[in-house]
Amino acid sequence: MMARPFWMRLFRPEPVRAVPGVHAPAGPAAPATELDLRMMARALDLAREAAAMGEVPVGAVVYRTATGEILGEGFNRREVDKDPSSHAEFIAIQRACAAARDWRLNDCTLAVTLEPCPMCAGLIVNARIGRLVYGADDPKAGAARSLYTLADDRRLNHRAEVITGVRAEEAAGLLRAFFRDLRRGRGV
Ligand SMILES: [Zn+2]
């Protein structure tokens, strides 16, 4: 089969492929624990709070992996804060660091209803988060699996354990309902 001419690649980007030695092996990740499921329920509640404020519904919780102690919570507040960094998990991580009096969160898990964006995946690495548990994939901005694999890229100096698809249908359902209502409100 002939290679596609370069100009065709401009129109249809190559699918993202795992690079051996760079990306984590594609083998099955450890399953979510009972504690993870409880924390995701809390993150979903936080996402609903965001929706009630007219914000895109995403919620996040940072907790100690061993004990379940919650160190920080957050939901998306981009509109109310007028701040592009006011993502649910960004806020939750900042609060967790303040509570822990430490910028390193190796012994913590972040549960977030939507796959983190590049900014938040970068913060997960910089904060040395031990585990990332997320709900719905984000094909448009996801940087943990969908577009990039920043949270466990072997080239970076820290890798989180990544667990995907936890209560994904509910997380995605909240987002779908939010955007449907938004379109109705605008009469489109
Ligand atoms: Zn983000």
Strand order of the β-sheet with 108-114 is: 70-75, 59-64, 108-114, 131-136, 161-163
Residues taking part in catalysis: 89
From ligand 1's centre to the CA of 117, what distance in Å? 4
Structure tokens, 114: 């939507």
From ligand 1's centre to the CA of 24, what distance in Å? 21
- Beta-carbon contacts of residue 124 (< 8 Å; ≥ 6 apart): 89, 93, 110, 116, 132, 150, 151, 160
Structure tokens, 173: 């359902």
Q: How confident is the model at residue 8 (pLDDT cuts 50, 70, 90)?
A: low
Q: How confident is the model at residue 115 (pLDDT cuts 50, 70, 90)?
A: very high
Q: How confident is the model at residue 111 (pLDDT cuts 50, 70, 90)?
A: very high
| Cβ-contact 44, 59 below 8 angstroms | yes
Structure tokens, 88: 């649910």
Mean pLDDT of 119-131: 98
From ligand 1's centre to the CA of 142, what distance in Å? 9
Angle separating helix axes 118-126 and 88-100, nearest 10 degrees: 20
Q: What is the pLDDT of residue 30?
A: 77
From ligand 1's centre to the CA of 175, what distance in Å? 15
- Beta-carbon contacts of residue 18 (< 8 Å; ≥ 6 apart): 26, 149
Q: How confident is the model at residue 154 (pLDDT cuts 50, 70, 90)?
A: very high
Q: What is the pLDDT of residue 81?
A: 98
